[in-house]
Amino acid sequence: MILSRIFALSLLILTACSQPPDTQILRMGLANAPLNLDPRFATDAASERINRLLYQRLVEFDDQSLPVAGIADWETLSPTHYRFRLRQPTSRFTHEKLLDAADVVATYQFVLDPQNASPHRSALELIEDVTQIDQQTLDFHLKRSDPLFPAYLVLAIQPADLLASRHPFHEQPVGSGPFRFVDHSKPGHLLLERHRDGQKVEFIEVKNPTVRTLKLLRGEIDLLQNDLAPELVGYLRSRKEVEVANRPGSNFSYIGFNMEDPATGNPLVRRAIAHAIDRETIISQVLNSAAHPALALFPSEHWAGAKDLESYDYSPQLARSLLAEAGYDAGHPLKLVYKTSSDPFRIRLATIIQSQLKQVGIEVDLRSYDWGTFFGDIKAGRFQIYSLAWVGIRTPDIFRYIFASDSLPPKGANRGRYSSPEVDRLLKEVEQAKTLAEQANLYRQLQAILQQDLPYIPLWYENQIFASRRTVTGYQLMTDGNYDGLEQVVLVNKREIPDAETNAAY
Amino acid sequence: MADFLLSRLVSALVVILGVATLVFLLIHLVPGDPVDVMLGESARATDREALRIALGLNLPVSEQLLVYFSNLAHLDLGRSLYSNLPVSQVLAERIPATLELAGAALLCAVLIATPLGIMAAVRRGEAWDWGAMGFSMLGVSIPNFWLGPMLILLFSLWLGWTPVSGRDSLAGLILPAITLGSAFAAILARMIRSSLLEVLGEDYVRTARAKGLSERGVVLRHAMRNAWLPVITLLGLQLGALLGGAVVTEIVFDWPGVGSLMIDSIQKRDFPVVQGCVLFISLVYVLVNTLTDIVYGLVDPRIRLSGSR
């Protein structure tokens, strides 16, 4: 009994040690902490989103994903010669140096140098050279023309002096963006400060989505974005101390086929599967309407998006007749292996699709793997069907990367070994196109062919979801899920919100 | 005693080297390439090759193993493929959290299990016994991934006593320690009960009672001393498990320990960090078991004597 009393007393003392969080810091819960704060080498989404806050770029994008001026305006001197002028007044890096053309040149030259093995080099391979004209001006010379070239200039600009001195940017980022780096010493925590008003923002990694939700409810974090199961979003919506917002996103979910497989290589089978999946029901019942159906890789609002694509409506009867035409029936059912990742929500979606396919007589053997194994199999072509999503894509040159017959992994991402002379021809014509309008027209033709051939079944674009305490105002959600909304967000004093703290009511 | 210690040390070294080799080979057999995970699909073949050379992944596995052991001999665990930080530094950041959680969980388990086990043994067949064993059954049966969120709901959200997760305050340790320690408390309570029941039937306990000692004195001073022996073995084994196997609890409570680091590193195919984590866990197991053997010898002179014969 003495031991039990000691235990109860310890519990009481420890509970008394619980410190309320600092109310001046805005805390954002992340599913994954950034892996690398050096933008020359960062490839994960969390790092890229946070690096956007720390650094600036030559080019940004408008609502149609067309490139617009970031820190520089540009003019096309010839199809292979672009001149960029930094906008005035230029910003300062956090070590007080003014950002100038030398910094831009040094950043691009570093990434273009093969010895530095930057993962961003391949996106810039058409650059012949980059030269400084004066303190505010620089020129890009290209190996070949591409009217979309400015859209590739999204590297975060780093100071030339620190690049030369091999500054450890991954530990001490020095940028000219709206935020400055403060601290990253605690595992899973990153502290930034907004230049404008000194507002501190702490990013806290909370991997478990349920725990992330509970932390938001208790006020241990103030806001979170995405990576929540629909039922958690529904639960948050029912809480009066939390606000939930969403907006259409551009992350594209799809089912991919192995075109070299005897079964899935048959267009009748692919069409049957497309007609057997009830996307509307999945979106309304499973995704809680937090998505909208997709007909192609890009939404129709995108500058290269197609507006009049044929959709594969849900029709089990049509699916069955297509399967019969392909030679499958109850006595000789179609059997497929469906691979997905070990993410519980992806498994749930795959299980639903498995069930829908069963209704038309397709027997699906569902297999989930950890990410490394799953992705390795997909790239090696060891699959019949799989589901994945393309996240954060902006420029339609990705069509070449995914669907050109010579883009097999590891060179490209033609994982399904799709080969279409017509698509290859259109992709070559895109390279010759003089204007973006010409390119857009060719990409629309290409998307119509893809919708006919169905190397992918487009599923949906998942919405961007944002949830915050009522003490947070002014956050604007972005379609690609970046954290630019933090530039304007305001943390209201909790005492100004009468019913902000209602934890006792849980 | 010196021979005993030397033999334990040699066998510990063999086990650790065996584990290191096995893990090295297994992680290289698992599908998935760290270069792919690091560079993404869009990287060019030349860039992949450059990174592969930079990381030493272009060498044959046998050569990589030799390099690994050569570095290990110099206490160099290598560098993380992602952060480029020394693995020893990455581990050093996580080990205190792991030790803290394992220690607290062990303390929690002992504090819960000891009174439960003793009461169940002393009042065998009564409601206390049934209650304690029922609790024990529950503790073993409830998985941590369910118990953790339930405790958060109760203590953090409804009562507001503890933070939901994180290592920001001492109070943040309570729920993970209870979650991790609950299953162990259940096993420990059963072990204490059965061990004490066995001892309570011994002649010397009957003698102590015949001498007129109080029941409390008989149990706590005489019976418990011998009943602790098998419990110490279990404590040793379980401490190793608590140090290395707290993955689920660490993930539920965002506890920045070695378990969650290892899972992250496996997913990212960060080979050196995975190897470092496994080496740490095996080292802990071996150390704790060696210590258990030594403590066992100290507590029970019969074992010490038979060992030196």
The answer to whether position A38 is within a domain reads: no
β-partners of residue A390 are A252
Identify the pLDDT of residue B287: 83
Query: CA A469 to CA A206: how far, in whole Å?
Result: 17
Task: Check whether residue A276 and residue A231 sit in a common domain.
Answer: no
pLDDT bin (cut points 50, 70, 90) of residue A486 is very high
The answer to whether position A17 is within a domain reads: yes
CA–CA min distance B306, chain A (Å):
35
pLDDT bin (cut points 50, 70, 90) of residue A439 is very high
Pairing of strands A223-225, A456-469: antiparallel
Residue of A nearest to B95 (CA): A187
- Three-class DSSP labels, A339-393: EEECCHHHHHHHHHHHHHHHCCCEEEEEEEECHHHHHHHHHHCCCCEEEEEECCC
Whether residue A307 is predicted with pLDDT greater than 90 in this model: the reply is no
Residue B263: list chain A partners with CB under 8 A.
none
Average pLDDT over residues A117-129: 86
Q: Residues 187 to 226 of A: which have CB under 8 A from any B CB?
A: 187-188, 204-208, 210-211, 214-215, 217-218, 220
Find all residues with CB under 8 Å of A416, minimum gap 6, and list them.
A256, A257, A258, A259, A381, A455, A456
Is any Cβ of chain A less than 8 angstroms from the Cβ of B229? Answer: no
Whether residue A504 is predicted with pLDDT greater than 50 in this model: the reply is no
Identify the pLDDT of residue A501: 39
Is any Cβ of chain B less than 8 angstroms from the Cβ of A118? Answer: yes
pLDDT bin (cut points 50, 70, 90) of residue A8 is low
CA–CA min distance B116, chain A (Å):
9
Average pLDDT over residues A310-317: 93
Whether residue A164 is predicted with pLDDT greater than 70 in this model: the reply is yes
Identify the pLDDT of residue B216: 81
- Domain with residue A18: its CATH number is 3.40.190.10
In total, the C-beta contacts within 8 angstroms joining chain A to chain B are 161
pLDDT bin (cut points 50, 70, 90) of residue B45 is low
Task: Check whether residue A345 and residue A475 sit in a common domain.
Answer: no
Query: CA A149 to CA A283: how far, in whole Å?
Result: 36
The answer to whether position A503 is within a domain reads: no
- Give the domain-ending residue among A103, A128, A163: A163
Q: A86 or B301: whose pLDDT is higher? A: A86
Residue of A nearest to B158 (CA): A506
Subunit contact A188:B254, Cβ cutoff 8 A: yes
Write the DSSP assignment of A15-33 as a string of letters.
HHTPPPPPTTSEEEEESS-
Task: Check whether residue A397 and residue A449 sit in a common domain.
Answer: yes
A475 close to A488: Cβ distance less than 8 angstroms: yes
Identify the pLDDT of residue A499: 45
Write the DSSP assignment of B151-187 as a string of letters.
HIIIIIIIS--S-SS-SSSGGGGHHHHHHHHHHHHHH
- Give the domain-ending residue among A109, A133, A163: A163
Identify the pLDDT of residue A10: 54
H/E stretch holding B150 reads: helix B144-151
pLDDT bin (cut points 50, 70, 90) of residue B1 is low
Whether residue A145 is predicted with pLDDT greater than 70 in this model: the reply is yes
Task: Check whether residue A362 and residue A488 sit in a common domain.
Answer: no
Q: B70 or A117: whose pLDDT is higher? A: B70
Whether residue A121 is predicted with pLDDT greater than 50 in this model: the reply is yes
pLDDT bin (cut points 50, 70, 90) of residue A40 is very high
Mutation target to probe the B interface, by most B beta carbons within 10 A, among A122, A152, A399 is A122
Task: Check whether residue A383 and residue A491 sit in a common domain.
Answer: no
**In this prediction, what percent of chain B has a pLDDT beyond 70?**
90
pLDDT bin (cut points 50, 70, 90) of residue B39 is low
pLDDT bin (cut points 50, 70, 90) of residue A506 is very low
Taking only Cα atoms into account, the Rg of chain A, rounded to an integer number of angstroms, comes to 25
A84 close to A136: Cβ distance less than 8 angstroms: no
Task: Check whether residue A430 and residue A312 sit in a common domain.
Answer: yes
Pairing of strands A334-341, A72-78: unpaired
Identify the pLDDT of residue A72: 96
Residue A118: list chain B partners with CB under 8 A.
47
Q: Retrieve residue B229's tokens.
A: 């022996």
Q: Which of A292-296, B183-187, B196-200 has the highest mean pLDDT?
A: A292-296
Query: CA A376 to CA B36: how far, in whole Å?
Result: 9
The answer to whether position A289 is within a domain reads: yes
Identify the pLDDT of residue B133: 87
- Domain with residue A50: its CATH number is 3.90.76.10
Task: Check whether residue A153 and residue A226 sit in a common domain.
Answer: no
User: What residue numbers bound the domain in which A474 lies?
Assistant: 2-31+206-248+464-496
Q: What's the order of all strands across the beta sheet hosting A127-134?
A: A72-78, A81-86, A137-142, A127-134
Is any Cβ of chain A less than 8 angstroms from the Cβ of B92? Answer: no
**Helix B2-29 and helix B301-308, axial crossing angle in degrees, nearest 10:** 90
Whether residue A11 is predicted with pLDDT greater than 80 in this model: the reply is no
Task: Check whether residue A458 and residue A470 sit in a common domain.
Answer: no
**pLDDT per residue over B108-131, tens digit each?**
998 988 888 888 888 888 888 898
Strand segments (E) across A81-152:
81-86, 127-134, 137-142
**pLDDT per residue over B178-187, tens digit each?**
999 988 888 8
Subunit contact B174:A14, Cβ cutoff 8 A: yes
B270 close to B81: Cβ distance less than 8 angstroms: yes
Question: A134, exposed or middle or buried, with CB in 10 Å at 0-12, 13-18, 19+?
Answer: exposed
Average pLDDT over residues A130-151: 95
pLDDT bin (cut points 50, 70, 90) of residue A392 is confident
Average pLDDT over residues B290-302: 72
Whether residue A498 is predicted with pLDDT greater than 50 in this model: the reply is no
Average pLDDT over residues A402-407: 93
β-partners of residue A205 are A30
The answer to whether position A184 is within a domain reads: no
- Three-class DSSP labels, B54-105: HHCCCCCHHHHHHHHHHHHHCCCCCECCCCCCEHHHHHHHHHHHHHHHHHHH
Phi-psi region of B25 (alpha: psi -120 to 50; beta: other; left: phi over 0): alpha
Identify the pLDDT of residue A93: 96
Identify the pLDDT of residue B42: 56
Task: Check whether residue A137 and residue A87 sit in a common domain.
Answer: yes
Give the nearest partner residue to B37 out of A170, A218, A372, using CB atoms: A372
Identify the pLDDT of residue A284: 93
Whether residue B92 is predicted with pLDDT greater than 50 in this model: the reply is yes
Residue of A nearest to B94 (CA): A187
Subunit contact A373:B31, Cβ cutoff 8 A: yes
Write down the pTM of the prediction: 0.79
Whether residue A423 is predicted with pLDDT greater than 50 in this model: the reply is yes
Subunit contact A18:B37, Cβ cutoff 8 A: no
Subunit contact B164:A19, Cβ cutoff 8 A: no
The answer to whether position A181 is within a domain reads: no
Task: Check whether residue A339 and residue A322 sit in a common domain.
Answer: yes
Average pLDDT over residues B9-15: 83
Mutation target to probe the A interface, by most A beta carbons within 10 A, among B168, B188, B251, B254 is B254
Identify the pLDDT of residue A475: 93
Average pLDDT over residues A289-299: 92
Subunit contact A117:B152, Cβ cutoff 8 A: no
**pLDDT per residue over A49-77, tens digit each?**
999 999 999 999 998 899 999 999 999 99
- What does the mean pLDDT of chain A come to? 89
Is any Cβ of chain A less than 8 angstroms from the Cβ of B44? Answer: yes
Identify the pLDDT of residue A21: 56
The answer to whether position A104 is within a domain reads: yes
Task: Check whether residue A238 and residue A365 sit in a common domain.
Answer: no
* A246 SS3 class: strand
Subunit contact A207:B254, Cβ cutoff 8 A: yes
Subunit contact A187:B51, Cβ cutoff 8 A: no
**pLDDT per residue over B131-169, tens digit each?**
888 888 888 889 888 899 899 989 998 898 999 988 878
pLDDT bin (cut points 50, 70, 90) of residue A377 is confident
Write the DSSP assignment of B19-63 as a string of letters.
HHHHHHHHHHHSS--HHHHHH-TT--HHHHHHHHHHHTTTS-HHH
Is any Cβ of chain A less than 8 angstroms from the Cβ of B26? Answer: no
Q: Which of A174-178, B31-35, B77-81 has the highest mean pLDDT?
A: A174-178
Identify the pLDDT of residue B74: 83
The answer to whether position A425 is within a domain reads: yes
Q: How many structural domains is chain A composed of?
A: 3
Where helices occur in A381-486 by DSSP H, the ranges are 398-403, 421-432, 436-453
Identify the pLDDT of residue A349: 93
N-terminal to C-terminal alpha carbon distance within chain A? 33
Task: Check whether residue A279 and residue A345 sit in a common domain.
Answer: yes
**Which domains, from first to last, does chain B contain?**
93-256 (1.10.3720.10)
pLDDT bin (cut points 50, 70, 90) of residue B243 is confident
Whether residue A362 is predicted with pLDDT greater than 90 in this model: the reply is yes
Q: Count of CB atoms within 10 A of residue B141's CB?
A: 9
Q: Which of B32, B15, B13, B21 is nearest to B68 (CA)?
A: B21
Residue of A nearest to B175 (CA): A11
